[in-house]
Structure 1
Amino acid sequence: MKTLIRTAVTAAALAAVTAACTASTGGPSNPPKPVKANPVRLVAYSSCDDLLGGLREQAAKNVGPYGFGNVIPIMAMEDGQAKARSDTASAPEHSTTNVHEAGVDEPDLVKTDGNRIITVTDGTLRIIDTATRKITSSLKLTEGDQRVPGLPADLLVSGDRALVLMRGGDIMYKTRGPVADTRYVVVDLAGQPKVLSTIRPAGSYVDARMVGSTVRLVTRSQPDITFPELRQDASEAERTKENEAAVRRAPVDAWLPATEITDAAGKVTKDTVKCDRVSHPADYTGTSLLTVHTIDLAQGVTAAGTDPISLAADGDVVHGTGQSLYVASNPRWWFPVRPLPIEEPAPSSSAVAPAVEPTPSDPVPTPTVPPEETEVHRFDIASAGAPTYVASGKVPGRLLNQYSLSEHEGHLRVATTLNSADGKTSSSAVYVLNADSMAKVGEVGGLGEGERIYSVRFIGAVGYCVTFKQVDPLYTLDLRDPAAPRVTGELKITGYSAYLHPGAEGRLIGIGQEASDKGRTLGTQVSLFDVSDPAAPRRLSQMFQKDAGSEAEWDPHAFLYWPKSGLSVIPLSKQNESGALVLKIDDSGVRELGMIKHPTQKGDYPYQPGIQRSMVIGDSLWTLSYEGVQVNDATTLASQSWIPLR
């Protein structure tokens, strides 16, 4: 049977992590044991019968007395051609979303083309005209008359088309079945905004990337299997056997991800991923599927729908370039859980319910600790239409985030931290994989023994890695020879950088926390590093805000850096103060310019909104909070306008 997913076999298994060679202060003496990384091979199913048999068999092996897994994982959270705006050429100079790769847009809670600001709050899309500084139109995207406070939504915009990514229904603990209400809404922004189509995919939204006007969306789903009701008188072995039987009875549709598309006229079209569009690795659990959807905003949703392809794997980290889409599955954190009995008498007001004790026939589950290794799948997205699967690889350890991945000149660099089985020791490494085969080409290990990675940045053939426990070693890496990457320099300072951003030539900006020499965090810090000499990185300047935190430490989209003037902005929160800290970062140092605050919201409990995003548009600095948008002079920081969103 013909399939759009091209299979490939990875080369030899990745080698084990090398012993630590660059120790950091305070690190343990025993490095983690090496983990052998097995090759990964995705194979397309030959038929629906083949697919069903394979998924049933693998899922049955991974079901327990309480569903999938004996322990509970903690989850880290009318169509036509789009019209280009006639006034785009006259748009004022403006900043855009801070993204990992140039030319690859990432979803965020606000977008601007210089003439408009588009954002979604409480389930309502709003468009602000930057010339009049007024909301010119809005569109309610939720059902019913009530707003939905705090409903998470991100945006991607191309011309007069927006894609609103609405995430709902995700839960932290889940073993018995899929729960999600993910919606992708295509909106026409020309004139009064209107919904063109609504896509409801099976599963939960993972992430998306847009190149040109084409969006690739990744969702994750679990098989929709109804397990028998838990019987209090049954042992765990009996429950497991009953659940295995339920898995083996499940039809193929329980696994195949379905998609429901509603057009502007209300017509609903349902589609299911075809069996020949599903692939699987040689080793898989059958309990999770990743699906990649494709939407070209220039065309809208056509008769082909979202042209989905799926693979029987898990994933939670997405990295995109102009040619490739990478989906990586981090190992989960696990802990044993013992559910309460099915029927438990309600305690009286004066009594405390007794603790539930295990019985010999129903012992507490033994914790299962999966090996710490990360699978990475690469898809070719250079052509229109559905992506083409290229290859997969596996490396020891876990990723920090998408910045732990970087493609450069035909190779993928992957930075991970590997913890020992007992969790008492750790070490980090950077692996170089051939992007075509995902086979390992080289590696450099021994980074931050006893510590973990706090930030990574790859800039061309150079890499920067920050590990931390008590002090912050900033490592510089020479990656020019993929087969022999090496550490060229190391800088030990207190605190750490949680996000690294390229500055001017030979400069690197770090945002994170200052810390005592014992490793106790003290408050937000912004550092400027001189990395012009890879053998001797040094810190030129530091700005420190005691007892403060910034969203930019964990979400790079919150950081604004305007190279033209060195203007930089980060959200900042203190115990009694919230706002946006405005800085000037040039070749010589970091200087504080001032603090922008949004109006205090009155009521029974007055509060000051926390600023989430900042944008430069012309000569003004625009800041966004949950309550509204404020405009300040980019030079003097004088307040100019306030635009409430609620």
Structure 2
Amino acid sequence: MKTLIRTAVTAAALAAVTAACTSSTGGASGPPPKAVSLGAVRLVAYDSCDDALAGLRERAAANVTAYGFGGVMPFAVAEDSAAASKARVTATPEHSTTNVHEAGVDEPDLVKTDGNRIVTVADSTLRIIDTATRKITGSLKLVEGDAAPGVPADLLVSGDRALVLMRGGDIMYKARSFMPPGDTRYVLVDLAGEPRVLSTIRPQGSYVDARMIGSTVRLVTRSQPEITFPEPKQNATEADLLKANQEAVRRAPVSAWLPRIEITDASGAVRKDAVTCERVSHPADYTGTSMLTVHTIDLAQGVTEAGTDPISLAADGDVVYGTGQSLYVASNPRWWSPVVRPAVDTVAPAVEPTPDDPAVSPEPTPTVPPEETEVHRFDITKPGAPSYVASGKVPGRLLNQYALSEYDGHLRVATTVGSGDEKSSTSSVHVLRADTLAKVGEVGGLGEGERIYSVRFIGPIGYCVTFRQVDPLYTLDLRDPAAPKVTGELKITGYSAYLHPGGEGRLIGIGQEATEQGRTRGTQVSLFDVSDPAAPRRMSQFFQKDSGSEAEWDPHAFLYWPKTGLSVIPLNKANESGALVLRIGDAGIKELGLIKHPRQSQEGGYTYEPGIQRSLVIGDSLWTVSYEGVQVNDLATLSSQAWIPLR
């Protein structure tokens, strides 16, 4: 049987909602957490396929369970020319772009704009909207059949090229999908004229994330070895199952581990390739049960003879963070739970054995793996495939990519230890050298019994929001990498799930208001004065009872227009959905209105208000996007100007 056991189905989803770094004490009282020595972590390339096979077999056999590999990520198995962007007759209007972590490093999202056109993908269909005529000028169906409406996808756009990232049946937090398990595909589309597919790339593995600098995209996928395990026999013991699976691993060829790539060009010709042994590396300590692959595609060049120029790493990863110089891939510890043994047809014994019976071997007691986050850094300053720089480990788990920040030759990492037990959880910010990822300094003792809900690093200052019953906002002084310290703390009810720079000495927080007992009450937006790191204070707050916003867990949903302080977030209430428009400035937070899309009808006479997902400023208009359509409103008055249906 194929390895289909999933021991960590909701790991990343739970982590994204609940992981935390918090403290009611501000880290000033109580002893710091005990230092944990994690040893050196280094990446080593294999010398040959024989070397790779021996190492991978040994590590995988040592880590396979009686039921396969835990936390399985399922997998399955152009015509290109450099295209310069067409000159525009009219000047490009001033416009917003995707809200990203690092300036100049674009992130995939469901809508992109260059000011003259909007490109969006929904229901497996790419559409182009001309912002001048406010009409759809092109569309392209990317997936046919009944599965099409369920395929989640994101976009990256450079000039007249779009890369559509379609996620297959990944069990992790990225999305739910009706695509076949592992049917991840990256579709390169020519946007000049009627959109057309230039090439389709099907990598082995599940899509993790991607980053684009200029026109060069680095994509990260993960896979597990393709090994067929034997069917369990009747009366098979745990030890029998484990032994059989270990033997299957030791018989597997090296090709079971080497990720494959299938590329189909515009003519339909298919090219198949695989990562070579010499392009696979591994940390000093690894399991052999997971493989990360980094693909490189220059949208200006398309898919060349080098294909996606892949390199692989025998490791796991679920968080991607990129800067102009570095690509980081981090692997959070999996949420641990004992493996549940599948049913095996057996005949019940006449007398049930007891644990005291010497003839009966007790089931082994599962052990909880340590909470450690492994981080790998790749240099992306040169064209082509990135080069490995270093690896490191820190205790605990990350909340998301915002818990990572590279600054002035160092990487700051915020983690929580004990995320499964609120009473013992505590959080720290670790400072590592970027060139070696060796630990330089640490500030700990944050959040005794609490968890991180948001993190933001802005230059040499860090901000950490924690929550259990009240929300301490911590300010961190990181100017001395060897001696980071907590400088201030603000206790308020509720929490911020996302933090955004709001100008000099200002910080915007989006999250939930809560009672003093920690029960959430509805969406809140806060403006903090952090000009004095020792005394952060809340200047203003907007609160909407019994509501939630996608911006709390997806920063791409937040629009902030610094020129005027205009801010827009999706807002969902019990019987109402829309885009909340605010003005945020030193005068406070002012509600300007709630933009709604036209009600839609379904069978049976039921109507509903579409949930708005994204907002964009283009010239003097505010554009909002839902799955049902795109609406244009006047930026000053919010009066409706146009409705462009997408269905």
Q: TM-score, normalised by structure 1?
A: 0.90
Change (3 A) 1:363 1:230: farther
Instruction: Name 1:639's counterpart in structure 2.
Output: 640
1:22 Cα offset (Å): 6.5
Q: CA deviation at 1:21?
A: 12
2:227 to 204, 213, 225: 225
Q: What is the aligned residue count?
A: 607
Instruction: Give the SS at the match of 1:80.
Output: coil
Per-residue CA deviations over 1:132-175 (Å, capped at 9, x if unaligned) read 1111110111145x5611310000000000000000122359xx
Give the AA of the match of 1:641.
A
| Deviation of 1:74 (Å) | 10
Where does residue 332 of structure 1 map in the other structure? 334
**Shift of residue 639 of structure 1?**
1.1
Instruction: Specify whether residues 204 and 265 from structure 1 end up closer, same or farther in structure 2 by C-alpha distance, changes over 3 A only.
Output: same
Q: What is the CA-CA distance between 1:555 and the residue it aligns to?
A: 0.4
Q: State the distance in 1 between where 2:72 and 2:28 align.
A: 28
Per-residue deviation at 1:600?
1.2
CA shift, 1:337, in A, is 3.9
Give the AA of the match of 1:479: L
- For 1:65 and 1:601, the matched residues in 2 are separated by 51
Equivalence for 1:607: 608
| Corresponding residue for residue 528 of structure 2 | 529
| Contact 1:428/1:453 (<8 A) preserved | yes
Distance in 1 between the 2:246 and 2:219 partners? 32
* Structure 1 segment 505-516 matched on structure 2, within 5 A: 505-516=504-515
Deviates more, 1:94-103 or 1:82-91: 82-91
**1:37 lines up with 2:48 in the alignment:** no
Given that residues 235 and 346 in structure 2 are in contact (C-alpha distance below 8 angstroms), is that contact kept between their aligned partners in structure 1?
A: no
Q: Is the 8 A contact 1:558 1:613 kept in 2?
A: yes
1:219–1:103 distance in 2 versus 1, CA, 3 Å: same
Following superposition, the deviation at residue 586 of structure 1 comes to 1.1
> What secondary structure does 2:548 align onto?
coil
The gaps in structure 2 that reach 5 residues or longer are 1-20, 174-179
Aligned to 1:92, the other structure's residue is in SS state coil
TM-score by length of 2: 0.90
- Alpha-carbon shift at residue 80 of structure 1 (Å): 0.4
CA distance in 1: counterparts of 2:423 and 2:32, whole angstroms: 9
Question: Per the alignment, do residues 89 and 217 of structure 1 end up closer, same or farther by CA in structure 2, a change over 3 Å counting?
Answer: farther
* 2:369 is the counterpart of 1:370: yes
Q: What CA distance in whole angstroms lies between the structure 1 residues aligned with 2:465 and 2:62?
A: 39
- Alignment-mate amino acid for residue 524 of structure 1: T
Deviations 1:85-127 (A, max 9, x none): 3118711111000000000000000001111111111111110
1:90 maps to 91
Shift of the alpha carbon at 1:636?
A: 1.1
Report SS of the residue matched to 1:331. coil
Cross-structure match for 2:560: 561
When residues 493 and 247 of structure 1 are mapped into structure 2, their CA distance, relative to the original with a 3 A threshold, is: same
Aligned-partner Cα distance in 1 for 2:423–2:31: 9
Cross-structure match for 2:448? 449
Q: Which amino acid aligns with 2:482?
A: A
> Following the alignment from structure 1 to structure 2, what is the Cα–Cα distance between the partners of residues 359 and 120?
60
User: How does 1:30-429 map onto structure 2 within 5 Å?
Assistant: 34-69=35-70, 78-87=79-88, 90-144=91-145, 146=146, 148-171=148-171, 179-342=181-344, 366-419=365-418, 424-429=423-428
* Structure 1 residues 94 and 21: alpha-carbon distance in aligned structure 2, compared to 1, 3 A threshold: closer
State the AA in 2 paired with 1:561.
Y
**Structure 1 stretches of at least 4 aligned residues deviating more than 4 Å after TM superposition:** 20-23, 25-34, 72-75, 342-345, 357-365, 420-423
Residue identity over aligned pairs, in percent, reads 77
Residues 73 and 224, structure 2, Cα contact 8 Å, conserved in 1: no
Paired amino acid for 1:522:
R
Aligned partner of 2:56: which letter? Answer: L
Note if contact 1:30-1:425 (Cα within 8 Å) is conserved in structure 2. Answer: no
Is contact 1:25–1:471 with CA below 8 Å preserved after alignment?
no
Structure 2: distance between partners of 1:368 and 1:627: 48
What is the CA–CA distance in structure 2 between the aligned matches of 1:290 and 1:518, rounded to whole Å?
A: 42
Distance 1:258 1:631 in 2: 44
**Residues 325-361 of structure 1 deviation map (CA, whole Å, 9 limit, x = unaligned):** 000000010212424424599xxxxxxxxxxx99976
Tell me by how many angstroms 1:644 deviates: 1.0
Residues in 1 aligned to 2:450 and 2:23: alpha-carbon distance in whole angstroms: 11
CA distance in 2, matches of 1:422, 1:87: 57
Shift of 1:508: 0.3
Contact preservation (8 Å) 2:416, 2:425: yes
Confirm or deny: 8 A CA contact 1:31 1:427 kept in the other structure. no
Q: Aligned to 1:465, what secondary structure does the other structure show?
A: strand
Give 1:23 shift: 4.5
Cα 1:536–1:133 shift into 2, 3 Å: same
CA distance in 2, matches of 1:264, 1:47: 35
Deviation at 1:264, TM superposition (A): 0.6
Q: CA–CA distance in 1 between the matches of 2:30 and 2:164?
A: 50
